[in-house]
Amino acid sequence: MTQVSEEQPWKKPTTLLAAVGALGVVFGDIGTSPLYTFKTVLDLTGGNNAPTILGVISLLIWTLIIVTTVKYAGFAMRIDNDGEGGILALMALLGVKRHKRPLIVATGLFGAALIYGDGAITPAISVLSALEGLDIAAPELKHYVLPLTVIILLGLFALQPIGTAKIGRTFGPIMALWFLTMAVLGVWGVVRHPSILWALNPYYGLSYLFHSGGSGFLVLGGVFLCVTGAEALYADMGHFGAGPIKLAWSTLVFPSLVLNYAGQGAIVLEGAPTEGNIFYRLCPASLTLPLIILSTIATIIASQSIITGAFSMTRQAIQLGWMPRLKIQQTSSEGYGQIYVGAVNWALMVVTIGLALGFRKSDNLAGAYGIAVSATMLMTTALLFIAMREIWKWNIVACAFVASLFFIVDASFFASNMMKLLEGGYVPLLLAGLVYLVMFVWHKGITAVAMRLGENPVPVDAFFKEMANEGVARVPGTAVFLTRAKATTPPVMMWYVKHSRALHERVLAVTLDVASIPYIPVQKRLTMTEVCPNYWAITACYGFMQRPDLPALMSQIVSHGCSMDSNELTYFIGMEKIMPRNDRRGLPRWLSKFFAVLLRNSARVTDYLHVPPEQVVDIGRQVSI
C-alpha cells in the first residue's frame, strides 16, 4: 500500500494548471451531458417546431446559468470548510457533527447518500450514450453497443485498485480537447441556422413553459440533465481551489456547453432527423467514428471522476463516524485523494452494470437519472440558507430571498423528476435509502456502544489505588489503550486488568477525535496529560480528510516528552460482540442485530490505523445495547 503524507493538503499547482486538471475531474459529468440531454428533452416535447426548439435551448442555457454559474460558482463555492466543499463538508462546517441538530444532520447525510445513486447511474448512461453513435456511423454494429458498454465498465472498475495517478495526468488535456471539439461542432451548427441564438433570451424558455401545458412541466425533468454534475464544482473545491474551477467553467466549459446545445438545436431547426443520437449529427460523416472514440474516452474520464468522488466521500463519512470502517488503500503518493475503497468499487460495479443491462439504452436510463441529483441540490440549498445566516451573518430577509429563488428552481426540477419515479427513478432512491440506512444504523450503534461502555465510570486515581491494594503486578513495557473515555479509566484497561491481574509499567490512554474541519496541523494535534505517574491521557485530533496512523502518532508522543521504546509497545484493542439488551432500554432489536452485522464486517481497527499486527492484543467482550 502506497503511503502518503496527510498532515497537510497537497500543494495546489498554479491556477492555469489547476484549471486544466479540473477539466478532467470536476467537469466530466456535466461535460458529457450533451450526449443525451437534448435528445431526451426533445422526446419529451413531442415536437420539433421553432417555438419548441427555441424554448428548450433557452431552458438549457438558463438552467446552466442559474444552477451552475449563480448557485454553485457564485454562492456555494464562497462557503468552504477550510478549503473543502461538498454537502458533507458543509454539514460539518455548520457544527452538526455527531448527534447535534439532527434535522440538519439528516439533510446532509441523505444528500450525501443520494450521490451514491448518481455515481451508479452516471457511468452507465454516459458510456451507453457515447457508444450509441455507432447507430449512425456503422448501423451494422449497433447490436454491439450494449456488450461494448459492459466490457468498458468492467475494465474501468477492474483498474481501480491500480490507481489512476499516472493516466490521470492526461485527463485534463483530453477533456480540454473534448470541450473544444464540442464548441467547434456547436459553432458549425449555429452557422447553419443562426436564428437559434434567439434562445439566449430567457423569454423563449419561460414562454414555452407557460404555454405548453403539462408537457412543459414534464420537460423540466429532461432539462435538468444538463446540470447533473454541477455539484462536483463544490465537492471538488478542496482538490483544485475555487479560483481554478471558476476559471475553467467560465472560459471553456460553459461556453462549450452553450455552443453545443445551440448547435444541436440549430440543426434540428434546419431539418435534421431526430432519430438516434442528435449530438453525432453535428459531425461530418467522415469524422463520426473518431468523435465516437473521443466521446467514449470522455465518458470513461467522467465515470472515473464519479468513482473517485464516491471513494473520497466514503472516507469522509467514515472519519465523521457515519459509516463502518472500510479498507482504504492509498494508490499514489502524489495526492491524498488517490485512494481505493474496494467495497464501494465492487458495489458500484455490480449496480452500474446491472443498470446498463436492465435499461439497455441511454434514453431508457434517462428516466432513472436526475431524481438523486435534484434532491441533493435541494438539500444543499437548505444548508446554504443556514450558512448564509450563521456564517455570513445575513439578515433573514436577504437569506430567505436568495434561498427561495434557488429553492423554487430546485423544487421545480425535483418535482418534475419525480414524475419519472416509476420509469426507473426509484432506482437511485432505493440505493440512497440503503446507504442512508447503513449510515443511520452505524451511527446509532457506535453511539450506543460508547454510552454503554461509559456507564459506571471509575476515576483513574481510584483505579490505581485499587490495583495497588490488590497487588496487581506491573510488567515491563508500554501499553496503549484506545478509549473514548478521556477523564476516566478506559473500560478495556479495566477488563484487561481484571482478567490478567497485571498491567504494564507505562500506560497510554489514547482518544482519537475527528474535528469538523478537514485538516488539523500536526503541531496542533496532541493534548497530553500525565494523570498519574507513568499514566498519560492523550487526545489526538484529526480533520475529517485525514486518516489516523497510530505508529506515527506514537513517534509524535515521544517527541512531546513521553519516553518509551516503540518496539516495546503493546496495543490493546477492544473487540465488541454486540448483544441486544433485555431490559427494553436499548436499541430496537432489528437495529442492534443490523449493527452487529455491520460491525463484524467492518475493517479491523488495527488495519485502519496501520497498527503492526504483531504488537496487538485483541480483547473480546460482549456489549449489550
pLDDT digits (tens, 9 = 90+) for 440-460: 999 999 989 888 888 888 999
Domains in the chain (CATH in brackets) are: 15-444 (1.20.1740.10), 457-624 (no CATH)
pLDDT averaged over the chain? 87
Number of Cβ within 10 Å of residue 401's Cβ equals: 11
Q: Residues 30-57: what's their mean pLDDT?
A: 90
pLDDT at 525 over 60: yes
Give the best-scoring range by mean pLDDT among 62-71, 123-132, 273-282.
62-71
For residue 4, the model assigns a pLDDT of: 46
Q: Tell me the C-alpha to C-alpha distance, in Å, between residue 16 and each of 25, 246, 269, 426.
A: 15, 11, 38, 41
Task: Identify the band that residue 95 occupies on the pLDDT scale cut at 50, 70 and 90.
Answer: low
Q: Residues 337-350: what's their mean pLDDT?
A: 88
Give the pairing type, strands 473-482 and 502-514.
parallel
Task: Identify the band that residue 182 occupies on the pLDDT scale cut at 50, 70 and 90.
Answer: very high
For residue 618, the model assigns a pLDDT of: 86
For residue 444, the model assigns a pLDDT of: 92
Q: Residues 588-612: what's their mean pLDDT?
A: 89
Question: H/E element holding 208?
Answer: helix 202-211
For residue 566, the model assigns a pLDDT of: 72
For residue 337, the model assigns a pLDDT of: 64
Task: Identify the band that residue 165 occupies on the pLDDT scale cut at 50, 70 and 90.
Answer: low
User: E strands along 448-500, which residues?
Assistant: 473-482
DSSP for 237-248?
A: HHHH-HHHHHHH
Q: Residues 475-487: what's their mean pLDDT?
A: 88
Selected residue with higher pLDDT from 22 and 409:
409
For residue 97, the model assigns a pLDDT of: 43
Percentage of the chain beyond pLDDT 70 is 95
For residue 557, the model assigns a pLDDT of: 87
For residue 445, the model assigns a pLDDT of: 93
Q: Residues 399-410: what's their mean pLDDT?
A: 94
Selected residue with higher pLDDT from 537 and 370:
537
Which residue type sits at 474? R
Cα angle 26, 108, 353; round to 5: 55
For residue 13, the model assigns a pLDDT of: 55
Per the CB < 8 A criterion, the answer to whether 49 and 63 are in contact is: no
Task: Identify the band that residue 98 occupies on the pLDDT scale cut at 50, 70 and 90.
Answer: very low
For residue 69, the model assigns a pLDDT of: 96
Three-state secondary-structure class, residue 85: coil
Report residue 18 as a C-alpha cell. 489547476
pLDDT at 411 over 90: yes
Selected residue with higher pLDDT from 541 and 240:
541
Task: Identify the band that residue 109 occupies on the pLDDT scale cut at 50, 70 and 90.
Answer: confident
pLDDT at 1 over 60: no
Per the CB < 8 A criterion, the answer to whether 266 and 46 are in contact is: no
DSSP state at residue 95: T
pLDDT at 230 over 60: yes
For residue 334, the model assigns a pLDDT of: 58
Percentage of the chain beyond pLDDT 90 is 40
Question: What is the dihedral angle through the alpha carbons of 478, 484, 486, 489, rounded to the nearest 10 degrees?
Answer: -60
Its pTM stands at 0.84
pLDDT, tens digit, 9 for 90 and up, residues 278-335: 899 999 988 999 999 999 999 999 888 888 888 888 888 888 888 998 988 877 665 5
Per the CB < 8 A criterion, the answer to whether 226 and 37 are in contact is: yes
For residue 99, which phi and psi values (nearest 5 degrees)?
-95, 5
For residue 11, the model assigns a pLDDT of: 47
Pick from 223, 181, 175: which is nearest to 199 by CA? 223
Pick from 57, 68, 32, 30: which is nearest to 259 by CA? 57
Pick from 336, 340, 339, 316: which is nearest to 4 by CA? 336
d(CA 587, CA 601): 20
Task: Identify the band that residue 357 occupies on the pLDDT scale cut at 50, 70 and 90.
Answer: very high
For residue 336, the model assigns a pLDDT of: 60
